[in-house]
Copies of this chain bind each other. A is one copy, B any other.
Amino acid sequence: MPTPHYGQPRYRVIADQLRERIESGSIPPGSLLPTESALTSEFRASRGTVRQAIAVLREEGLVTTEHGRGTSTRPITLGHDSKQAAKSDNERFEIAADADIAKLFGVEIGTILIGQQQVHRRNGVVESVVRGYWLHRPGQ
């Protein structure tokens, strides 16, 4: 079989479908995703492709993977309050756009955006903090 990936690559299509299940609640927060081999059978894709799809969700912060255990969904913490102590080093939240951000996106100040904060540590010590912002559901 050739490698036709008209439009979207397979791993993104698979990632989209899995994201759909997670966000629709079909796969509840905190529960395990199907195993890699199960997804391999279901989507008739190679394991590498399935793993690539899962990697997409992991980068988005939607799931976490534990060696030898599996990949599980993680709840999105909405209504983030800055004083709220973060339990995780990777959390999602909603936040109102400040002047800078609002101008960049071309929206009004205060528009609600999706934010994600990721804390990077080395030997337990915080090395850097990265925050990403984007609009709800940009055409992907």
Contacts and interface: CB of A to CB of B under 8 A. Distances in A.
Interface of A: 59, 61, 82-83, 98-101, 104-106, 119, 122, 126-134, 138-139
**Could you tell me the dominant secondary structure of chain A's interface residues?**
mixed
A131 B131 CA distance: 5
Given A82-B100, A100-B82, A139 B126 contact: no
A105 B121 CA distance: 10
Contacts of A138: 127-128
Quick one: which of A122, A130, A132, A139 has the most chain B CB within 10 A? A130
B106 A82 contact: no
A126 B106 contact: yes
A107 to B, nearest CB: 10
Given A82-B100, A99-B82, A139-B122, A130 B130 contact: yes
